[in-house]
Structure 1
Amino acid sequence: MTNAGEKKQLLHLVFGGELSSLADVQFRDLNALDIVGIFPDYASALTAWKSKAQMTVDNAHMRYFIVHMHRLLNPAE
């Protein structure tokens, strides 16, 4: 529950890694995944994602993702 006037947390995870192939989402090395962080809303997660994606733009196999954790934690919502 949230207090009156407090915005509800909609947690988002940003992570990435190097893919084995461009045709599928299979990571080359799971131990080398880059866990950027968990963010309280989509806007801040998107900012972090854009930053990381831009830093790795020269590596076609590097991909970053945003996971909507709030949907996994509360699937009924």
Structure 2
Amino acid sequence: MFGHSSLLIENHFREAGFWHVANIGWGCKLNPKLISMFVERWRPETYTFHLPCGEWTITLEDVQLQLGLPVDGSVLNESAQFID
């Protein structure tokens, strides 16, 4: 059962259209070798992965498309208020 603060967070996720994102990892098996490979090939100075086939950069647009995040032009600031 969810605690009171968990329900508040859940409601914020639902209102922002992010509820499905909070549930992405459920039921997925992680591949530790694959994760280690990506960690080893990450270059924080350039924000890229250096792979045998070349450099890869993951953009916020990539994340938005993969996770199906709604984008309406609003920005969520540090105090969790929407700004238009």
TM-score for both structures, normalised by structure 2? 0.19
TM-score for both structures, normalised by structure 1? 0.20
Which one has a larger percent helix, Structure 1 or Structure 2?
2
- Structure showing greater radius of gyration is 2
Which one has a larger percent strand, Structure 1 or Structure 2?
1
